[in-house]
Amino acid sequence: MNLQYNYPEILAWLEQKGKQDYGERFYFLEQDTLNITKLVAYFLKDETKSNEFGLDLTKGVLLSGPVGCGKTTLMTLMKYIAKQNNRFYLKTCRDISFEFIKEGYEIIHRYSRGSYSQTEYKNYCFDDLGVEQNLKYYGNECNVMAEIILSRYDLFIARKVITHLTTNLSASEIETAYGNRIRSRLRGMLNLIAFDKNTADKR
């Protein structure tokens, strides 16, 4: 049985949560309502609404758009409405890169297959894909996020583990930075929700 949700009420409630977390000046722009509604439908696992938007609930979300359009804030707010089995940990790609410099290849394992003793895999949102650079660990260069994405794709196929991403990059820029193989994997494991490139910087 699919529940009927009142989306205007949910968005108004979520905006109030945003004001609590980010201050009274926080508000949703009318032009962003469609994308916010898509995210809410996805994280509520509303099959009817998600189908209207062409969202596959078995996949994660790739939230893309220009700098300052609110991608990270929106994904953070989704913690208030995500169903128990739809919850995730948010981690910036930049922080993962710094961890790689300190700890090496164990970091790739940590964010793809979990710790060696771990049997339960975590859903992650990797925030700001594209700001990290290829990094060296004892002289060996590694595209850390590319390796993590490849491993997460394998987990998605084998165990339906969910990955989300936010990025300022377009599809062609992702391909340039990470290669066609990564772009293909992202297409297979993520729903694209994109802000217009002309969306105003809200910072």
Instruction: Give pairs for 142-148: CB < 8 Å, separation 24+.
Output: 142/100, 142/105, 142/108, 143/178, 144/93, 144/96, 144/97, 144/100, 144/107, 144/108, 145/93, 145/96, 145/97, 145/178, 146/178, 146/179, 146/182, 147/108, 147/112, 148/96, 148/108, 148/111, 148/112
In a domain, 31, yes or no: no
pLDDT at 200: 57
In a domain, 182, yes or no: yes
What residue numbers bound the domain in which 116 lies?
A: 57-194
The CA distance from 40 to 28, in Å, is 13
The CATH number of the domain where 75 resides is what?
Answer: 3.40.50.300
Do residues 121 and 85 make contact, with C-beta atoms less than 8 angstroms apart?
no
In a domain, 4, yes or no: no
In a domain, 85, yes or no: yes
Strands 135-137 and 140-142: antiparallel
Domain count of the chain?
A: 1
In a domain, 98, yes or no: yes
Mean pLDDT by 10 residues, the chain (203 residues): 85 97 95 97 96 97 92 96 88 91 86 60 93 56 85 93 95 89 96 82 57
The CA distance from 58 to 76, in Å, is 20
